[in-house]
């Protein structure tokens, strides 16, 4: 049973606009959430994270929002750039294990 | 230059053959993980290890085996019992710190395994 879900397999955004990637989870015991970026034939690269005790974390163009009551996580990229085109995975931690979503493929159109 | 090295990048297996995927890290991380990625699916955990000489099964451990004899190394063996081994395999590591501090996993570049 998938505990972390990314319901949008793909997203296209114009350069300079905002990209919003969404993630839902089912286990309220997750204590740490992360976003990774992945290019084909490469390993995921850590992007940004948030502890379950916070609701927002910002790092440059990237902001992660956590809504615990809705069990929802989102990643905002502003402004979007063509180099942001990649697959984005959300992940959640419980104990020593990390659980990953299925990924959203973001295409930023120049 | 610290990081995680997976080798080989591409690997081919004959039917009934065991193959071993290498994963080495020089980040001094305590924990190491093996994931499998199939098209359209997320990363699924095969095995993980938080300390030398100890490891735990993940969600899809059947047909796989691991060892953790050194902190730096966590090889994965895909046995002939794994009926559908074709996939992209990713190794990761992380610190554990004080009671699971908030540190991300770092990933290698993966090994693509195919059946001949």
Distance separating alpha carbons of residues A30 and A95, to the nearest angstrom: 8
Helices vs strands, H then E, count in chain B: 0, 11
Q: Positive or negative, the Cα torsion across A96, A44, A76, A61?
A: positive
Residues of chain A found within 8 Å of residue B109, distances taken between Cβ atoms: 41-43
pLDDT tens for the 116 residues of chain B, in order: 669 999 999 999 888 889 999 999 999 999 999 999 998 788 999 999 999 999 999 989 999 999 999 999 999 999 988 888 999 999 999 887 544 567 888 999 999 999 88
- In tens, the pLDDT along A65-99 reads 999 999 999 999 999 999 999 999 999 998 878 89
Distance separating alpha carbons of residues A35 and B105, to the nearest angstrom: 11
Which residue in A5, A30, A35, A43 has the most chain B C-beta atoms within 10 A of its own C-beta, making it the best mutation to test that interface?
A43
């Amino acid at each position: 049973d998938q505990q972390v879900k990314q319901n949008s397999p793909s997203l296209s955004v114009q350069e300079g606009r905002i990209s919003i990637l969404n993630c839902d989870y089912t286990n309220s015991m997750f204590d740490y959430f992360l976003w990774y970026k992945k290019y084909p034939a490469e390993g995921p690269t850590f992007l940004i994270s948030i502890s379950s005790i916070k609701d927002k974390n910002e790092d440059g163009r990237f902001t992660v929002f956590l809504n615990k009551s809705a069990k929802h996580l989102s990643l905002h990229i502003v402004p979007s750039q063509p180099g942001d085109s990649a697959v984005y995975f959300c992940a959640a931690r419980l104990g020593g294990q990390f659980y990953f979503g299925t990924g959203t493929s973001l295409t930023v159109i120049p | 230059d610290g990081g995680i090295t997976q080798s080989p990048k591409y690997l081919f297996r004959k039917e009934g053959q065991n193959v071993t995927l290498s994963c080495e890290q020089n980040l001094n991380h305590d924990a190491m993980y093996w994931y499998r990625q199939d098209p359209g699916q997320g990363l699924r955990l095969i095995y993980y290890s938080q300390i030398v000489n100890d490891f735990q099964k993940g969600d899809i451990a059947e047909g796989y085996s691991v060892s953790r004899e050194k902190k730096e190394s966590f090889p994965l063996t895909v046995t002939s019992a794994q009926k559908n081994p074709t996939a992209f395999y990713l190794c990761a590591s992380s610190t554990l710190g004080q009671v699971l501090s908030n540190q991300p996993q770092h990933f290698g570049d993966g090994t693509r395994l195919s059946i001949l």
